[in-house]
Amino acid sequence: MRLRTRLALAFALMALVPLAVVVPLALRNLRVTLSQELEARSSAAVDAAQAVLLREQAEAARAVSELATSVALEEVAQSLHAGAPPADLASLAGQLMESRGLTVLALLDASGTTLSSGHLPARLGDPAPALLAVTRESPDGLRPILVEVREGEALREVPALVVARPVDYGALRLWLVGGRRLDTGLVHQLSTLTGAAVSVRTPAGELVALAGTASPPVRERTLPLGQAGTLSLRLSEASAEEAEAGVLRAFLALVATGLGFAVLLGLFVSRRITRPVEALTTGARRVAAGEARVRVETSASGEVGVLVAAFNRMLEDQEATTRQLLATERVAAWQEVARRLAHELKNPLTPIRMSLETLVAAHAERNPRFDSLFRESAGVVLEEVERLRRTVDAFSRFARMPAPERAALDLSELVRGVLGLYATPPAGVTLVPQLAPDVAVEADRDMLTQVLLNLVKNAEEALPEGGTVWVRTHARPGEAVLEVADTGPGIPEEDRTRILEPYVTSKPGGTGLGLAIAARICQEHGGRLDVGAEPGAGARFTVVLPR
């Protein structure tokens, strides 16, 4: 930690200690107050929900009672007593249910068989044990139960508040069972009234209805609904936390103001003391980042001034040493290139010289075979001169490679076009393309064509007795991949690490620059050329480019 920072922190600590004692006490009292207020809100929400349920119960009970004593049901009972059920009996419950705003209504006989159902019309003639239980256990009060309703193609049990009322005609007794489902409409009403997230679940835990949201953390209160399940109210504690956060922000603003003043005072005091040391630190970081010609310019006296002067002298010595090392490295690099180029040029000179010496000797001896010797030697000389030309041309391309002219292209389309126009495999060699769609790159088309042709040519030349060459493309996150693999003898392990270096080749008459140029083209595009090979298992060259 810097000296200036230490001084500033010391001043800040002096201002922070009193605030550190006051703030926790104030926050604790605030939490207690907010917790009490939230508890009062949750109790009020429960009371409001209970009041709504009681009102719903009263309205449903009144509606069912009025229907049970209505003229319509009296006529139905009369018809059934006479043994002639009315024609509209099946739809009667549905019409009565809608007229009274109910969501559950069924007409049962004394044995519990459904004569008419508004909430489940398909159950005519079926027993309804859950509704019949209401007539026997709670004939006067409202009871929460699970009733079956159809949702889409499936039947589902949902909670409902129902009441049963008898319909008598002579010795005939019918039961009218009706009420209201605890559905989304009622839940929305409760959520709007209480400001809570309200949900209804069956005894099995299945969510039936949900309204409103409560940002975590939440405080939950539950109202039991008997066999019908539970009704939950979830009140968000986010508002209490926001209030606490607001008070905390105010305290923090006060703390920040005091700390800021203390830090400024500390910085003002320590600035004149620490400025030379910080200048040295900045200079050292610039040197570590590779910046050249760094100088520390600051006014200092005493031991610090001596340290600054020594640092500047050290940088001057380092700069001179770096220049010498760079010059030495450049000389060594060109010496290596010259050595390898001389080696490549020396090989063709030997047969040229031997051919010329043979011609000179035959001419001096007036050898009658001079003409045939001349033709043979001329062919050898021309062949070796052509080899020299190829070597020089390859070196020239390697040394003066132009910058790539990038354009958007599909790597698979490029490979397909190049293989279709240029790739004619020798006899016995099978060329198998495996190209993925949409492998997009930005690259120089001509340069990538040169790389592909070089890799395919090398693969074909590695199969003198025939085999298979695969050309594959695919994409992976952030990269496009072009792979050329063959079934040839592979690359020996000792040559694998040097195969991409200039003038390294195992082919007779090769220049050793083809793969070096291909690797450099990949580097110019921000990619790389990877070599994968196992002796006896073929070679694999992979071009990886950024997408």
User: What would the pLDDT profile of 279-306 be if each residue is shown by its tens digit?
Assistant: 777 777 776 666 666 777 666 667 667 7
Q: From residue 374, how far is each of 352, 378, 386, 388, 501 by CA, in Å?
A: 12, 6, 18, 21, 39
Q: Check residue 345 and give its pLDDT.
A: 66
Q: Check residue 400 and give its pLDDT.
A: 54
Instruction: Give the mean pLDDT of 349-360.
Output: 78
**The pLDDT of residue 86 is above 80:** yes
| CA 387, 393, 399, 401 torsion-angle sign | negative
> Which uninterrupted H or E stretch holds 355?
helix 302-364
Q: Which two tokens stand for residue 334?
A: 């060109």
The most confident of the ranges 94-108, 331-345, 359-373, 483-497 is: 94-108
In the listed set 181, 205, 239, which residue is the last one of a domain according to the structure?
A: 181
φ/ψ of 202, rounded to 5, equals: -75, 170
User: Tell me: the pLDDT tens digits for 216-270?
Assistant: 777 778 888 777 788 888 877 776 667 767 777 777 777 777 667 766 776 776 6
541 in any annotated domain = yes
DSSP 437: S
User: Tell me: the pLDDT tens digits for 355-413?
Assistant: 788 878 888 888 888 888 788 878 877 877 777 777 776 666 555 556 778 899 999 99
Q: Check residue 482 and give its pLDDT.
A: 93
Beta-carbon contacts of 233 under 8 Å, excluding residues fewer than 6 positions away, are 42, 45, 46, 49, 190, 194, 196, 197, 198, 220, 221, 222, 223
* Per-chain mean pLDDT for the chain: 78
In the listed set 181, 201, 218, which residue is the last one of a domain according to the structure?
A: 181
Higher model confidence: residue 479 or residue 84?
479
Beta-carbon contacts of 204 under 8 Å, excluding residues fewer than 6 positions away, are none
Q: Check residue 19 and give its pLDDT.
A: 64
476 in any annotated domain = yes
Q: Which two tokens stand for residue 543?
A: 């071009």
Residues 408 and 442: beta-carbon distance below 8 Å? yes
270 in any annotated domain = no
* % of the chain with per-residue pLDDT over 70: 77
320 in any annotated domain = no
Higher model confidence: residue 57 or residue 326?
57
Q: Check residue 401 and give its pLDDT.
A: 58
Of 76-80, 259-263, 330-334, which range is least confident? Answer: 330-334
Q: Where are the alpha helices (DSSP H) in 116-220?
A: 129-137, 184-194
20 in any annotated domain = no
Q: Residue 135 sits in which domain range?
A: 69-181
Of 301-315, 422-436, 444-458, 464-478, which range is least confident? Answer: 301-315
Please state the domain count of the chain: 2
**The pLDDT of residue 540 is above 80:** yes
CA atoms within 13 A on the CB side of 439: 23
343 in any annotated domain = no
In the listed set 163, 181, 199, which residue is the last one of a domain according to the structure?
A: 181
Count CB-CB contacts under 10 A for residue 506: 11
pLDDT band at 342 (very low <50, low <70, confident <90, very high): low
Residues 352, 379: Cα–Cα separation, whole Å: 10
Residues 122 and 135: beta-carbon distance below 8 Å? no
φ/ψ of 168, rounded to 5, equals: -110, 140
- Nearest-5° Cα angle at 305, 303 to 307: 70
Instruction: Give the mean pLDDT of 496-510.
Output: 66
524 in any annotated domain = yes
Of 37-51, 216-230, 288-302, 482-496, which range is least confident? Answer: 288-302
The b-or-e profile of 28-55 (16+ CB within 10 A means b, else e) is eebeeebeeebeebbeebbebbeeebee
pLDDT band at 188 (very low <50, low <70, confident <90, very high): confident
CATH number for 115: 3.30.450.20
Q: Which residue has the tokens 């009322």?
A: 165
Q: From residue 394, how far is each of 277, 317, 341, 516 by CA, in Å?
A: 55, 41, 11, 10
Instruction: Give the mean pLDDT of 267-280.
Output: 68
pTM for the whole thing? 0.40
Instruction: Give the mean pLDDT of 425-429.
Output: 85
CATH number for 480: 3.30.565.10
Higher model confidence: residue 446 or residue 508?
446
Q: Check residue 72 and give its pLDDT.
A: 84
**The pLDDT of residue 133 is above 80:** yes
356 in any annotated domain = no
Residues 481 and 448: beta-carbon distance below 8 Å? no
pLDDT band at 521 (very low <50, low <70, confident <90, very high): confident
Q: Check residue 79 and give its pLDDT.
A: 86
Of 184-193, 238-247, 462-471, which range is least confident? Answer: 238-247
Q: Check residue 435 and give its pLDDT.
A: 92
